[in-house]
Structure 1
Amino acid sequence: MPHIDLPTDAPGIGGLFHYRPQTALPMAQLAEVLLCGEHSLSRGERELIATYVSSLNDCGFCTRSHAAFAAAQLPGGMDLVCQVTDDPDGAPITEKMKTLLDIAGAVQRGGLEVTSDHVGAARKAGATDVEIHDTVLIAAAFCMYNRYVDGLAALTPEDPAVYESIAERMVTGGYLPAAAAPGG
């Protein structure tokens, strides 16, 4: 049960966004830019970073939802997502993604945990400065989103079908509410 009275029974961050639309819009806009915007990393790869950080933070809602979003957009589906969250070094992903996940994990522990060795390894594996920048920002943003969801005890369904349904909407519609989307 959420710690505050929400105007809807929408799960996770959606219920919190309904409660305070003034803060929801900028948070959704940030997610849209980071996870759906033009980028050299695929949408699935960026969702994988969000999933990994959420799993490190033990945020059930964000881990399940972003795992579903990543799975819907990656050729390896949920099997690959689970391999990455269980053992990123042993998962069948590129060396570049492994180094970016290392950076994301360092950010999750604390911003000062990211070292020049992390950045050097990512560059050596082919990561661009924009990919490194956005990995740090995705990880930092998801620490915030995770703490927001868990700090207010947002509703967290157990049924994977709920997350698959949300994933279908997110993959096609993105993170912005329809009225806030460009042209909306």
Structure 2
Amino acid sequence: MDENVPGLPSLLRFRPETAGPLSALAEALLRGPSPLGRGERELIAAYVSELNGCRFCASSHGACAAAQLPGGSSLVRQVHADPAAAPVSDKLRALLAVAAAVRRGGREVGAEHIAAARDAGATDVEIHDTVLIAAAFCMFNRYVDGLGTSAPEDPAAYAQMAERLIVHGYGSAAAPR
């Protein structure tokens, strides 16, 4: 792993054989076609990462969400602190509850979570995408933290990553800077 490259990009460079599929998965989940906006999907990824205690992923995806959602970093902080009180739509609040349940375990998603999401206006595709983002980010978080990657202290570093990801996507995550 490259000690000078933080988080997931260092792992993608270390194992190029897995970089392509992992980057393609992130690209599909966070930037591909979905009824959920890119900022909403990034917020779900950041929230799950925050719950998992993965500082790199929570910060990098939080910065991506902040750059794409009204409310910016203040909104991301509010969702991380208490999604029930955060100024998000009822639908997004219900989807965040689904994501939190997935994070605890797939079987933790109950009929009440799905019913609440549907009652708030979520479609089956939005529920599907939320579950898959949450499940994938549990894996990404464990990958990043399980191999002890570094995480920048400076929030500006995450803002720069967000700018690059928003413009170029996740296929560029392992590319040299």
TM-score by length of 1: 0.92
| Alignment partner of 1:66 is 2:58 | no
Provide the aligned C-alpha RMSD in A: 1.5
Code of the aligned partner of 1:174: G
Number of corresponding residues: 175
Please say if residues 8 and 18 of structure 1, whose CA atoms lie closer than 8 Å, have aligned partners that are also in contact. Answer: no
Code of the aligned partner of 2:77: C
The whole-number CA distance in structure 2 between the counterparts of 1:110 and 1:64 is: 23
Please say if residues 3 and 150 of structure 2, whose CA atoms lie closer than 8 Å, have aligned partners that are also in contact. Answer: no
Q: CA offsets, 1:111-148, max 9 Å, x none?
A: 00000110011011110111000100000000000000
The whole-number CA distance in structure 2 between the counterparts of 1:22 and 1:45 is: 30
Code of the aligned partner of 2:87: P
TM-score by length of 2: 0.96
1:132 corresponds to which of 127, 134, 151: 127
Q: What SS class does the counterpart of residue 170 from structure 2 fall into?
A: coil
Identity %: 61
The whole-number CA distance in structure 2 between the counterparts of 1:29 and 1:123 is: 29
Q: CA offsets, 1:6-53, max 9 Å, x none?
A: 246211000000000111111110110110012211100000000100
What's 1:48 paired with? Answer: 43
Please say if residues 49 and 101 of structure 1, whose CA atoms lie closer than 8 Å, have aligned partners that are also in contact. Answer: yes
The whole-number CA distance in structure 2 between the counterparts of 1:15 and 1:61 is: 12
1:177 to partner: Cα distance: 2.8
Name stretches of at least 5 consecutive residues in structure 1 with no aligned partner: 1-5
The whole-number CA distance in structure 2 between the counterparts of 1:31 and 1:8 is: 23
Name stretches of at least 5 consecutive residues in structure 2 with no aligned partner: none
The whole-number CA distance in structure 2 between the counterparts of 1:59 and 1:68 is: 14
Code of the aligned partner of 1:50: A
2:137 corresponds to which of 113, 137, 142: 142
